[in-house]
Structure 1
Amino acid sequence: MFSNLLRTAFRSLKKNKFFSLLNIIGLGIGMAVFLLIALYVKFERSYEDFIPGKENIYRVKLDSWLNNELVLSTAENYPGVGPALKNELPGVVSYARLYNVGYKNNVIITNKEARPEPVAFKQKHFLYADSAFLPMMGYAMVKGDARTALARPLTAVISEKYAALYFKQEDPIGKTLLLQDDDLNNEPAQVTGVFKDLPENTHLKFDVLFSYATLLGRGSEAPGRYDNGWNRNDMYTFVRLAPGTDVRAMEARLPAIVDKYEPGLKQSGRKEVLGLQPLADIHLQSALAEEPSENGSERTVLFMSAIGLFILVIAWINYINLATARSVERAKEVGVRKVVGAVKGQLIRQFLVEAALVNLCAVVTSLFLVMIALPYFNTLTGITFTYTSLYQSWFWVTLLLLWTVGSLLSGLYPSLVLSSFKPITVLKGKLQHSRRGILLRQGLVVTQFAASVVLIGGTLIIYRQLNYMMHLDLGMNIDQVMVMERPAIAPDNTEAYNRSIDVFRAELKKIPAVTGITASLTIPGKQREFKALVKRMGSTGRDSVVIRANSMDYDFLATFKMKLIAGRNFSPEFPGEEDNAVIVTESTARLLGFKEPAEIVGTVVSIPAFDDVPKTVVGVVNDYHQVSLKQTIAPGLFGFSKYGGEMYSVRIRMENLAQTIASVRKAWTTAFAGNPFDYFFLDEYFNQQYSNERKFGKLFTTFAILGIVIGCLGLLGLSAYTASQRIKEIGIRKILGASVTDITTMLSRDFLKLVLIAIVIAIPVTWFIMNTWLHAFAYRITIGWWVFVAAGSIASLIALATVSSQAIKAAITNPVKSLRAE
């Protein structure tokens, strides 16, 4: 019985090759898009899945308030938080602290014993970690014991990759690595373990861990700095809770713990709130200051999921449309089958088998397309998907569901329509398309092209916003600026260190292409939060405000082309004064109560973070964007530092770039011998903050184009079928004098009406969706009316081109051929 149904289905597909091919290609592309998006969504939601018991692990976050205003929300907190939570809360099984020195400092780790010469690498993915960290996270160890590997001071564990880089084929256990950083630390550590390279789907990316006990052994630091102090909030703290712990009840006890360990907060007008973030939620739902790496976006994942489902539905709509449109053509087949004894159930099974066969061919096609597209998809997403990703059980379950659900959804309605024809009416040739069926098909076409308009409009808006962010005046010029971090290997003698910086500046000034050199604590785009509490001396207004702090030397404003609005710049003409002087931005002047920037010049302020010695405001500069346009401009303040800058910025001319970089390299090695030369361009570095948005834009555009292609395939099939049904009418009109243009217009008119309806429906939908997306940006474009005009015009032109191709083909057909049977 089934074999007979299958043979009949094959014959039907073979008989209608054009429409069968359109269905298979359309469904295949739709399924391929859905599968690729499913790969992306699955990966984004799989972060930390490899960690056993991840549901019981939480990160402690910190919100800092001043005068009832949230001034800082950060992933870091105090060293004393972990021990306090373990002591105060019975549900805390263990805690682990991490100090992200790889991000904060310039760190070089060297195998001095390597031959023929030492092996040194600049380490950005480097952390100090408590001994409980490895057991808590359950990282797989290749060598060593996770429970004891970081228990002692001056011990280290490294990844498989770096074990091979540092030690080649040798066993690294027991070998020594030397850490040197720009805080003048110079510490040898014994390798006590090697861990398996971390997968991509983790927010904590590191290659080297030094024991946290190493920090505890630093005698020069303030008492309690790394052990149980509550004065520096620069540690990540993770806690493992006992299974079944009531997390909300535990969070309710955190304010009392803060009050106990920071009793002076209330008197200072400050408030600090600790919170618990589930480990699994960090990647998609956290966007705090001091994140260890750039996180993903829950909103992007939801958008992409919706697009994937949208495009799949468009493909299924195509099948339903073509199948029901061709119902009259297949009516006689149904009539004959019913006359010879076929019942409705048998006919439904027949048409469902046809749908299943088409969907099976589409599934195979989609799998082939996914394999071809995978390298390009990797480039779009920045994620490395391999062909082994397609062998996972969930992927094949998804394929099976696509085939099953697709067969039912796309085949059930057409099979019910076709099997319901009355044989007497059909065989008398009186069957016509029902009005309900026509309205359904028109509704489906409208849905398809409304989706296309939404996709086109969304693409235009996304790229306008990206272009706006990347070209908006930041308040400083960051183009043609190369940046280097200060050297990690430096003399511990202050005078010798300062001389090396002077040598670097002098060597750079000899390079004709170098037009500016400056040093600062931080640079635009760096996510580190240097914030200082600033109090205006003698003020009767607000006691203190929180200001983003930076340092600069004499050449900062000129190098970055900032504007001095009032007062003066730091200058060597005022020796001895600059140590107690600051320059502020316009918004800082306003925040401190001055209507005009010039009024603040000469004002004395107190800044506890800057040794609490009164500072005089000597100048005001324009506001500038320290971080991306997702955030509003923060008020800023600069202290003077000629030699204390952590970032060296060099403005260059771009002609003969390779030669200029070689000259800068030579200046670096002359001044800072033994330090690897590493640089980046500031504009590229700053724009990395938009990597998620750019990735989303590329994905959205790619899949929007594919969605439109699928919609056009359906429209192509419908227009071809409509033209074939009216071929005799066209022949008569041509004999009576109708031109090709007249016939093309006649056949295209009805479809264009549907497209116009789709545009009207799509406009408010596009506005709502994209306006929601834009609200994530503090600085954003407005959605102008022209976007909808452009999106509608593009959709109309695409539809017109698709329909006209078939209309023209029908219009130029010789009428003798179509009428000779009459």
Structure 2
Amino acid sequence: MLKNILKIAIRSFWKTKSISIINVLGLSLGIALCLIIALFVRNELSYDKHFPNAERIYRVTSDIVFGGNAMKMTYAPAPMADALVEEIPEVEAAVHFRNQGSFLIKRFEENIKENKVIFAGKDFLKVFNIPLIQGNSKGALDEPNTMLISQTLAEKFFKGENAVGQSLVLDNKTDYKITGVYEDIPENSHFDFHVLLAAEGLPEAKSPNWLGNNFQTYLLVNPSADVREMEQKITAMTEKHISPVLKQVLGEDFTLETFRESGNKLEYALQPLLDIHLHSDLQGEFKANFSITYVYLFVAIAVFILLIACINFMNLATAKSSNRAKEVGVRKSMGSDRKDLFFQFMTETFLMSLISFSLAIFIASILLPFFNDLAGRNLKLPLDGIGFYISLLLGSILVGFTAGIYPAFFLSGFKPVNVLKGDVSSGMKSAKVRSSLVVFQFSISIILIFCTIVLFSQMNFIQNKNLGFNKEQIIMVHDLYALGDQKQSFKQQILGSSLIEKGTLSGYLPVSGTNRADNPWWVLGRDIQDQENLVSIQNWRVDFDYINTLGMTIIQGRDFSMDFPSDSSGVIINESALRNFNFEGDPIGQKISTFSGNNISGLDTENLEVRTVIGVVENFHFESLKENIGAVLMYLDPNPTGIASFKFRAQDVQEVLQLVETKWKELAPGQPFTYEFLDERFASMYASETRIGKVFAAFTGFAIFIACMGLFALTAFTAEQRKKEIGIRKALGASVSSLVLLLSKEFTKLVLIAFLIGAPLAWWGMKSWLENYQYKIDLGFGIFFLVAVVVLLISWSVMGLQSFRAANSNPIDSLKSE
């Protein structure tokens, strides 16, 4: 019996081979895309799970509102790690990190630049328990000037040797002894450092100042710990340590109650390690995280694509009902019951599903490298795992059942008396179902098109928005410290070229990943015990040419000038700082002050640093457009470090690169030359969104393609069913254009209904997404119009081709048998 069923299935497939091939290809492509998304989602959900105690590791996060600034950060005070272990019994171990950027590393003469370097506390291995390939984990980071390195770095410097006990030189000045080599941290981690330097040798790590938030702090809790209770204990602990320091600043009358009543906040919470990658977007993340929202979005896209492919199958199966009606009638009159016919049709569907799944593996293997390039991942098909094939088999059964259940019920339900008389009017019910499914397909397609257009429009808005500075044609040369006392000479030699317009030396630039420093300032003479007089503000060290090079605009006062020696104590502030300081009268010439530094007990409130406002610069974006523009002040740096930035006029970028690299090698022989362009660094701030946009656009394109495959086949089949009607109309004088309109009209109505359903849903979803941005596009009528035009053009091009072929056929061919 099974042999007979398979024969009938193959004959049915071959009889309508063009439509069957479209069905299989559409289903295979849909399954392949779902398979890729499933691999991607599994990878995103696996972040940090490789750490042995991942479920017991938490990160301290801070939520601070003070002096007009609101900050949600990964940073905590330097003394917090030790205090957690000493004062909270549930904490088994704690470690803090301090990121100070990249380092030059060498063993002998030649340096390499390593970006993945961080200072780590002595209990790092207790918290994260990373296996050591060489060395002993006990006391590995207890001593100053010691380090742990990754297996990759060990292979680079000590291939075939034991690295433990040997040394590397950092930044041409400090020897660090290697105490261990650890396995490379997997890519699916929220950090993946190659070098861990002992924080014991970092003076800042010993600071007792509880008001400085510069360290990322992680803790390992015991299995029975109640995290909510622990957070309450951490709050009590921080209040105990911070209150005396704040009293130094704000006076003996200070209380935390009045601090909060003034609208300020200083709170610390615990964030599970396993939540960081998908649930965290704070200042100070080690690298860009993903978002659980995007995971849900990709799961939805996978389901939608698979549904579209299944709907194609259902539509075409029911559309072919008139062709198979007589088969059903004959078989029922010969004794077949509905159960046998249902089993026949379901077997055909499962067979097509198995073929589609087999083909899907091949398609996925072709598409996966392109997806990896778009998404910045390194995914692989697990072809060597038995679980993979079991999952595919179960998936083919599920898809076969989903796609085949309705057509099988429908086709097996024909009454033999009616169909043998030629009455298949019950097919009208299937036509309504098909129409509903087409509407559903195109509603999904419209939602995806709408979201893609909005996402790319927002990214284009960001790239072209007036940022308050000029990011074009500026090259950034890193690691100025490698030049020693030749920094100014380097700048002047570069500026001597006709290719270069301007240049500045400063590590503080208006893009993320460059230097930042934040201090409270106030107008000199105002009572700092009144918390409203304190302004939390970014302090940037710049040179005389900074504002001019970056194309910023002075709106009051003037720029720094060598003609005014007093500018060494001057500052230029931005509009946000001007508003927060609330000066009385003209701000130019007014004096502002801050604490001059730290002493052993915390803030030094005896000595103040006083500066004079000489200018106000127009607001410029220095963080993501998701954030409001904060307060910034700039003052002259007598010994600039970090980055040299040059504005160039040449169209040939290679000429500029050759010039800068040649001068670098002359002044810093043997030091690696590292550069990037300011506009590229700015674009990298939105790399995650840009990647998501490209991936989303690709999947949208595939979803539309699959939907159009179904529409193409359905239009062709409808035209075939109406072949005689078309012949009669042509014989009576109907034009080709009127016939094309006739055949396309019904499907056009369905597409328009789909637009009325899908567009409002997409508008609501993207409006919610845009709420993440302080600066965003307007979801006006233009986007709705654009989406409508795109959808109609796609659908008309698909329907029009088939309709034109049918309308242009010779009526004699369709009427000669009548």
Q: What TM-score comes out, normalization by structure 2 length?
A: 0.93
Which residue of structure 1 aligns with residue 751 of structure 2?
A: 755
Contact 1:79 1:97 in 2 (8 A): yes
- Residue 436 of structure 1: CA displacement? 3.2
Contact 2:596 2:609 in 1 (8 A): no
| CA distance 1:738–1:809, change in 2 (3 Å) | same
Alignment pair present for 1:94 and 2:93: yes
Which residue of structure 1 aligns with residue 625 of structure 2?
A: 629
Alignment pair present for 1:243 and 2:234: no
Contact 2:538 2:633 in 1 (8 A): yes
- Residue 514 of structure 1: CA displacement? 1.7
Q: Which residues of 2 match residues 87-486 of structure 1 at below 5 A?
A: 87-101=86-100, 103=101, 106-112=102-108, 118-180=109-171, 186-215=173-202, 221=203, 225-226=205-206, 229-264=209-244, 267=247, 268=250, 269=259, 271-387=265-381, 389-392=382-385, 395-486=388-479
- Residue 435 of structure 1: CA displacement? 4.1
Contact 1:132 1:147 in 2 (8 A): no
- Structure 2: segments with no counterpart, 5+ residues: 251-258, 598-606
- Residue 719 of structure 1: CA displacement? 1.0
SS in 1 for 2:761: helix
Deviations 1:129-188 (A, max 9, x none): 22321242232322223334323332222122211221233332221111227xxxx321
| CA distance 1:752–1:620, change in 2 (3 Å) | same
Identical positions, percent:
34
CA–CA separation in structure 1 for the residues paired with 2:216 and 2:114: 18
Contact 1:158 1:207 in 2 (8 A): yes
Moved more, 122-131 or 467-476: 122-131
CA–CA separation in structure 2 for the residues paired with 1:42 and 1:284: 12
- Residue 612 of structure 1: CA displacement? 2.7
Which residue of structure 1 aligns with residue 42 of structure 2?
A: 42
SS in 2 for 1:463: helix
- Residue 377 of structure 1: CA displacement? 1.0
The residue identity in structure 2 corresponding to 1:518 is T
Contact 1:86 1:95 in 2 (8 A): yes
- Residue 397 of structure 1: CA displacement? 4.8
Which residue of structure 2 aligns with residue 512 of structure 1?
A: 498
Deviations 1:538-587 (A, max 9, x none): 34883112122212211111111111111122222222x23322110122
Contact 2:211 2:242 in 1 (8 A): no
CA–CA separation in structure 1 for the residues paired with 2:146 and 2:245: 37
Contact 2:474 2:679 in 1 (8 A): yes
Contact 1:98 1:235 in 2 (8 A): yes
CA–CA separation in structure 1 for the residues paired with 2:658 and 2:764: 51
| CA distance 1:154–1:636, change in 2 (3 Å) | closer
The residue identity in structure 2 corresponding to 1:472 is K
CA–CA separation in structure 2 for the residues paired with 1:425 and 1:659: 82
Q: Number of aligned pairs?
A: 791
The residue identity in structure 2 corresponding to 1:247 is V
CA–CA separation in structure 2 for the residues paired with 1:259 and 1:529: 26
| CA distance 1:362–1:609, change in 2 (3 Å) | farther
Q: Which residues of 2 match residues 569-608 of structure 1 at below 5 A?
A: 569-575=559-565, 577-594=566-583, 599-608=586-595
Moved more, 131-140 or 291-300: 131-140
Contact 1:482 1:681 in 2 (8 A): yes
CA–CA separation in structure 2 for the residues paired with 1:427 and 1:435: 17
- Residue 8 of structure 1: CA displacement? 2.2
Deviations 1:34-91 (A, max 9, x none): 1111222221221112111211111111222226x66222112122111111122221
Contact 1:504 1:670 in 2 (8 A): no
| CA distance 1:431–1:489, change in 2 (3 Å) | closer
| CA distance 1:394–1:479, change in 2 (3 Å) | farther
CA–CA separation in structure 2 for the residues paired with 1:742 and 1:478: 55
CA–CA separation in structure 1 for the residues paired with 2:712 and 2:94: 62
- Residue 419 of structure 1: CA displacement? 1.3
- Residue 489 of structure 1: CA displacement? 4.2
The residue identity in structure 1 corresponding to 2:242 is E
Moved more, 141-150 or 545-554: 141-150
Alignment pair present for 1:32 and 2:32: yes
CA–CA separation in structure 1 for the residues paired with 2:387 and 2:463: 39
| CA distance 1:483–1:609, change in 2 (3 Å) | farther
- Residue 706 of structure 1: CA displacement? 0.8
Contact 1:324 1:414 in 2 (8 A): yes
The residue identity in structure 1 corresponding to 2:665 is T
SS in 2 for 1:755: helix
Moved more, 153-162 or 430-439: 430-439
- Residue 654 of structure 1: CA displacement? 2.9
- Residue 677 of structure 1: CA displacement? 1.7
Deviations 1:409-434 (A, max 9, x none): 11011111111111111212222144
- Residue 623 of structure 1: CA displacement? 0.6
Deviations 1:179-218 (A, max 9, x none): 227xxxx321222222222221111121111223333xxx
Alignment pair present for 1:84 and 2:78: no
Deviations 1:575-617 (A, max 9, x none): 2x2332211012211222259xx82111111122677322111
The residue identity in structure 1 corresponding to 2:227 is V
CA–CA separation in structure 2 for the residues paired with 1:696 and 1:609: 45
Contact 1:290 1:529 in 2 (8 A): no
SS in 2 for 1:328: helix
Which residue of structure 2 aligns with residue 115 of structure 1?
A: none
- Residue 402 of structure 1: CA displacement? 2.7
Contact 1:504 1:668 in 2 (8 A): yes
Deviations 1:435-480 (A, max 9, x none): 4322211111111112222222222211111111001111011211
Contact 1:552 1:645 in 2 (8 A): no
Q: Which residues of 2 match residues 488-507 of structure 1 at below 5 A?
A: 488-489=481-482, 497=485, 500-507=486-493
CA–CA separation in structure 1 for the residues paired with 2:107 and 2:481: 15
| CA distance 1:188–1:266, change in 2 (3 Å) | closer
CA–CA separation in structure 2 for the residues paired with 1:55 and 1:156: 27
Q: Which residues of 2 match residues 761-772 of structure 1 at below 5 A?
A: 761-772=757-768
- Residue 695 of structure 1: CA displacement? 0.5
Contact 1:52 1:138 in 2 (8 A): yes
Match of 1:690 among 686, 689, 693: 686
- Residue 622 of structure 1: CA displacement? 0.8
The residue identity in structure 2 corresponding to 1:301 is V
| CA distance 1:594–1:436, change in 2 (3 Å) | farther
- Residue 484 of structure 1: CA displacement? 2.2
SS in 1 for 2:521: strand
CA–CA separation in structure 2 for the residues paired with 1:10 and 1:812: 32
Contact 1:551 1:645 in 2 (8 A): no
Alignment pair present for 1:557 and 2:544: no
- Residue 658 of structure 1: CA displacement? 2.4
Contact 1:258 1:272 in 2 (8 A): no
CA–CA separation in structure 2 for the residues paired with 1:18 and 1:411: 19
CA–CA separation in structure 1 for the residues paired with 2:37 and 2:537: 42
Deviations 1:692-718 (A, max 9, x none): 111011011111111111111111111
